């Protein structure tokens, strides 16, 4: 999977999955545009990954705000002249709790980032890719895009929506040579799962982790580096006939 000279735009780039994916693309020669909420966490990512300023641009943006999304897309095109790959990945879990105990603002907040953010990213990046008549997009959904999960209603709702957006975006752009797919990970070892474990069981987060692991045939969470490899494959020319798909990476959960 050679990404030499390709321009790869990643949202949520300072987080667990985003950072490992940035690393994997950089190792294959890509130029990167890294987007996240805070400039300082982006700068930390750039220095941790030892990225060179000439081949990497950082843009602080809140993906739930369309003007910020337009800004990161314009900045990418201004710096590198094109966008070859878009990893539409930023997401939040929201406050954990049953529907009956949840303030409706939690739903708005989660949908704001996970759905509005993904939609706005698709809207502005697809305009660029349709003009180019090339490009590939990978949206981050989740196994929560397929089934329910007690305590995570807002998140589950948002990830079902990401799958609908992915399929529709794929159909609207197939004629232009643009591919759109979704990755659907089971729990991955990042900050997000630490937060969900603590939300499920405040005084026994480690116990909550063990319970989650019991539901995974491989008996462990995924690693962000493993998700990155699937993203690279879907974004690569090797996946040239793959669009509109939702690819689970779940330690065997789909076989249950
Ligand atoms: N960790 C898991 O178990 C898991 C499983 C399936 C899917 N996912 C999805 O993977 C994606 C990445 O999650 P992660 O595990 O790396 O979590 P993470 O919390 O480590 O990373 C998420 C990143 O998104 C950024 N972000 C949040 N809101 C933003 C906003 N409004 N604008 C810009 N950036 C914003 C955060 O600052 C953070 O750096 C998310 O969409 C998540 O839902 C995660």
From the list 155, 176, 221, 247, the catalytic residue is 155
20-29, 45-54, 104-113, 164-173: lowest mean pLDDT where?
45-54
**Residue minimizing CA distance to atom 41 of ligand 1:** 91
pLDDT of residue 193: 98
Tell me the pLDDT tens digit for each residue of 145-170.
Answer: 999 999 999 999 999 999 999 999 99
**Residue minimizing CA distance to atom 31 of ligand 1:** 62
**Residue 170 and residue 68 in contact, taking contact as beta carbons nearer than 8 Å:** no
**Half-sphere exposure at residue 202, Cβ-oriented, CA atoms within 13 angstroms:** 3
Ligand 1: which residues within 6 Å by Cβ? 11-12, 14-18, 36-37, 61-64, 89-92, 113, 117, 140, 142, 185, 187-188, 190-193
pLDDT at 1 over 90: no
**Residue minimizing CA distance to atom 32 of ligand 1:** 62
Q: What is the mean pLDDT of residues 115-121?
A: 99
Tell me the pLDDT tens digit for each residue of 75-113.
Answer: 999 999 999 999 999 999 999 999 999 999 999 999 999
In what helix (H) or strand (E) does residue 39 lie, and over which residues does it extend?
helix 39-48
> What count of residues does the chain have?
256
* Cα dihedral value 93, 99, 105, 107, nearest 10: 50
Q: Average per-residue pLDDT in the chain?
A: 97
**Residue 222 and residue 249 in contact, taking contact as beta carbons nearer than 8 Å:** yes
- Going 139 to 151 to 65 to 56, the CA torsion angle's sign is negative
Task: Tell me, yes or no, if 155 is annotated catalytic.
Answer: yes
**Residue minimizing CA distance to atom 22 of ligand 1:** 15
pLDDT at 241 over 90: yes
> What separation in Å is there between the alpha carbon of 170 and the centre of ligand 1?
22
Q: How far apart are CA 110 and CA 105, in angstroms?
A: 9
Q: Tokens 């798909």, residue? A: 245
- Going 32 to 5 to 132 to 80, the CA torsion angle's sign is positive
Q: How far apart are CA 128 and CA 34, in angstroms?
A: 17
pLDDT of residue 53: 82
Q: What is the mean pLDDT of residues 203-208?
A: 95
**Residue 12 and residue 37 in contact, taking contact as beta carbons nearer than 8 Å:** no
Tell me which CATH code domain 7-255 carries. Answer: 3.40.50.720
Domain boundaries, the chain: 7-255
pLDDT of residue 54: 85
Mutate to test the pocket of ligand 1, among 45, 190, 193, 208 (most ligand atoms within 8 A of CB): 190
């Amino acid at each position: 999977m050679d990404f030499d000279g390709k321009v790869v735009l990643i949202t949520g780039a300072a987080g667990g999955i985003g950072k490992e994916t940035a690393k994997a693309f950089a190792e294959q020669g890509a130029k990167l545009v890294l987007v996240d909420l805070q400039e300082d966490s982006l700068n930390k990512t750039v220095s941790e990954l030892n990225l060179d300023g000439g081949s990497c641009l950082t843009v602080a943006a809140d993906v739930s705000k369309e003007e910020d999304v337009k800004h990161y897309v314009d900045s990418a095109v201004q710096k590198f002249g094109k966008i070859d790959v878009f990893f539409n990945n930023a997401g939040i879990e929201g406050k954990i709790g049953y529907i009956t105990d949840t303030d409706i603002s939690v739903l708005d907040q989660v949908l704001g980032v996970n759905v509005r953010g993904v939609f706005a990213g698709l809207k502005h990046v697809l305009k660029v890719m349709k003009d180019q008549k090339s490009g590939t997009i990978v949206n981050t959904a989740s196994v929560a895009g397929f089934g329910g999960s007690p305590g995570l209603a807002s998140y589950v709702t948002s990830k079902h929506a990401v799958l609908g957006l992915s399929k529709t975006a794929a159909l609207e752009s197939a004629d232009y040579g643009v591919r759109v797919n979704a990755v659907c990970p089971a729990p991955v070892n990042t900050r997000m799962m630490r937060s969900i474990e603590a939300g499920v069981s405040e005084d026994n987060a480690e116990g909550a982790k063990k319970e989650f692991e019991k539901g995974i045939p491989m008996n462990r969470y995924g690693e962000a580096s493993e998700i990155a490899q699937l993203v690279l494959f879907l974004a690569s020319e090797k996946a040239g006939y793959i669009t509109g798909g939702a690819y689970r990476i779940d330690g065997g959960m789909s076989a249950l």
